Structure 1
Amino acid sequence: MTTPFRWGLIGPGRIAHRFAKGLQHPECGVLHAVASRNEQRAIEFAAEYQAPRHYSNYDDLLADPEIDGIYIATPHNFHFDTAKACLEAGKPVLCEKPLTVSAKQTEELITLSKQHQTFLMEALWTRMLPVYQQVRQWLNAELIGDVRLVQSNFGFCIERNPNDRLLNPDLAGGVLLDMGVYNLSMSDWVFGRGPEQAQATGLIGDTGVDELMAVNLDYGNQQYAQFVCNFISKTENHLTIYGSKGHIKVEQMFWDTGCASVVVGEQQIDSFDEPFAASGFEYQTMEAERCIRQGLLESPEIPHQTTLRTMKLMDQLRQQVGLV
């Protein structure tokens, strides 16, 4: 019998619960250890998900020889230093999106992954969801003809707490890094490449972070993408792929759904509606485990260059609206 894959978790905050619940899928590994600088938080999280070990600092977790891979769920601004320490310790990394807060940092982590021959993957879980595997089948079958336009929204009216990571520039807050990364990544997923031109307008809020971004992307070959991400208004959060014959619509909360449909002309010809097997995070977790067991340095589904391409684009768009 194969030994279960043993995960170490750094940063037992909100998103970490989603990861831990995903491990309840029978084909996923197990939560082996939890690390937090707040020891009580580590103790409570480990107890909730039956992890046998907890640590009050990251170094002790990195020194644990029984850990097969580490999931990083800290705020964005800590991703780079934490992932760097993991790679230098030879521990495979699955790090929450965005992998870092700049292309320069991403390039350095990719270099470290190669130098230490250690796996590195951005946890852009949406790309691994079953609904998008179905959407890919529809696209490959050319049901909607030639793809021309991808439109998406990601918007909520958030609580106005200036100390929360979403609005706090010291915690790498801002809507593009937190929400817009999904819009960008899924447009990249559709076209399989980055845009030739990108234009953004936006709203910089009182705390100095971007609270709204409206973006136009030109991929060449008469192919485009448009999206709005924002903290100030609840939008209809669909993703729609328009083609020369019809369109594919991924339903509300396109980054977190199991529902989509395909329309040709005026007629719906197919649909997909499937609940997650666990929390939804299990699909990216299984992919990371598969890659690590095979000795890969990156996932072919979310390769390093795709992550870097998106990060470079986010650097460019933030600069356009006056962010550094």
Structure 2
Amino acid sequence: MLRWGLLGTGFITHKTAKAIAASNGSEIRTIAGRNSDAVDAFQKEYSIPTVSYGYDEILADPEIDVVYIGLPNHVHHTLTIAAAKAGKAVLSEKSLTTTMEEAQALATAVRTHDTFFVEGFMYLSHPLYARLMEILADGRLGNLRAITGFYSADIWNVTNPLGRGTLYNLGCYPVSLLHLVVQTLCGQDMFATGQLAGLGNVSTHDGTICDAAVTAQFANGVLATLQSTDSYGMEHGFTIAGDKGTLTFVTNPWLPVAGRNHLRWTSYDGEVEDIYVDADHDAFYTQVKMVEASLAAGQKEAQRPSPRLTDSLEIMAFLTEWERQCLAAQQP
């Protein structure tokens, strides 16, 4: 049994707690947070043995095997660094951090202390993505030519401005999927060759980027266009275009469900195939099982399609450059 310590009591930690409770290979030992009322309520809801009204105690606890960081992204690096120094395995929510300097410090600590780390792009552990990898490998797309992606959610009034806006909250999802597809079809080194042109709008509410668009061109000529917003809508879209046809996510790529998930293949000669992936569990549960399997195998990071540390750093580099260009465009 893996013994988990959970940091944070927000919405996303509830999702992870339910997934851990549903697994026969894990248990929650401690819930930690700075709001004692929220911590106590969380403990009661999930029948957790112990609580911590701060983070130092949980990181020092020898009975904790894995730390889950469900706190805002601007503290991900400091808590991951502390957990790595304590020899704990870490599952930390996306985005990796909010700056490349923080991301490099996080990566250095994980490597120096030789601890397990994975960024919480939970969707990539879902069976939908094992099926996607099979489709990408079967040749039906031909040569990759273009990718388009869009993610919107009207959540501006509940986001933390320290999280630096839509790119690190929502845009990281299409960027991470773009990364997986380009890497799989074009090789491990291709994503880092991307040249970006980005634009965005700044929120009058908190001064962060609220709407953003980017075009990227990779060294092999593949083009990508992505958009992200937290100021309106509740919509998603992602299409992969090869020179033989397109593959489109019909259901939400970033919230694969327990139940039926839907892809559609369309060849340029008119053939259409609806591809369904049925799953017994949602992506939060499969993410917990991925961590269990990785640690049981003695691995220090997840295996593809879940992100490895180098993958997370490349995704972060894309996001920070996209943000830089959006902000630069605001200057007179």
Question: Is TM-score (shorter-chain normalized) higher than 0.5?
Answer: yes
Q: Say if 2:235 is the partner of 1:241.
A: no
1:113–1:120 contact (8 Å) kept in structure 2: yes
Q: Which whole-Å CA distance do the structure 1 matches of 2:12 and 2:227 have between them?
A: 23
The structure-2 alpha-carbon separation of the partners of 1:26 and 1:11, relative to structure 1 and needing over 3 Å to count, comes to closer
The answer for the alignment partner of 2:195 in structure 1 is 197
1:110–1:120 contact (8 Å) kept in structure 2: no
Q: Which whole-Å CA distance do the structure 1 matches of 2:201 and 2:297 have between them?
A: 45
Alignment of 1:179-190 (within 5 A): 179-190=170-181
1:306 positional shift? 0.7
Q: Which amino acid in 2 is paired with 1:91?
A: K
Q: Say if 2:119 is the partner of 1:122.
A: yes
The answer for the alignment partner of 1:304 in structure 2 is 309
Deviations along 1:23-58, whole A, 9 cap, x unmatched?
244354122210011122112112212221111111
Q: Say if 2:87 is the partner of 1:93.
A: no
The answer for the alignment partner of 2:165 in structure 1 is 174
Q: Secondary structure at the match of 1:9?
A: strand
Q: Which whole-Å CA distance do the structure 2 matches of 1:125 and 1:276 have between them?
A: 15
Alignment of 1:43-82 (within 5 A): 43-82=40-79
Equivalent residue for 2:7, pick from 10, 18, 37? 10
1:149–1:225 contact (8 Å) kept in structure 2: yes
CA RMSD of superposed structures (Å): 1.9
Deviations along 1:252-291, whole A, 9 cap, x unmatched?
43201232222223222341142451x4212222222222
Equivalent residue for 1:149, pick from 141, 146, 149? 146
Q: Which whole-Å CA distance do the structure 2 matches of 1:62 and 1:272 have between them?
A: 42
Deviations along 1:146-199, whole A, 9 cap, x unmatched?
22111111012335x3xx434x2xx22300000000111100000114242111
Alignment of 1:270-281 (within 5 A): 270-277=274-281, 279-281=282-284
Q: Secondary structure at the match of 1:263?
A: strand
1:92–1:120 contact (8 Å) kept in structure 2: yes
Q: Which whole-Å CA distance do the structure 1 matches of 2:220 and 2:234 have between them?
A: 29
If the length of structure 1 is used for normalisation, what is the TM-score? 0.91
The answer for the alignment partner of 1:214 in structure 2 is 213
If the length of structure 2 is used for normalisation, what is the TM-score? 0.89
> Which protein has the bigger helix share?
2
The structure-2 alpha-carbon separation of the partners of 1:26 and 1:158, relative to structure 1 and needing over 3 Å to count, comes to closer
Deviations along 1:61-89, whole A, 9 cap, x unmatched?
11221111010000111111111111111
Q: Which whole-Å CA distance do the structure 2 matches of 1:235 and 1:153 have between them?
A: 10
Q: Which amino acid in 1 is paired with 2:50?
A: R
Q: Secondary structure at the match of 2:310?
A: helix
Q: Which whole-Å CA distance do the structure 1 matches of 2:148 and 2:297 have between them?
A: 36
2:21–2:28 contact (8 Å) kept in structure 1: no
The answer for the alignment partner of 1:320 in structure 2 is 325
Q: Which whole-Å CA distance do the structure 2 matches of 1:114 and 1:244 have between them?
A: 40
Q: Secondary structure at the match of 2:151?
A: strand
Q: Which whole-Å CA distance do the structure 1 matches of 2:180 and 2:121 have between them?
A: 11
Q: Figure out how many residues of one structure are paired with residues of the other and give that number.
A: 314
The structure-2 alpha-carbon separation of the partners of 1:259 and 1:23, relative to structure 1 and needing over 3 Å to count, comes to farther
**In percent, how many aligned pairs have the same letter?**
26
- Unpaired runs of 5+ residues, structure 2, are 184-189
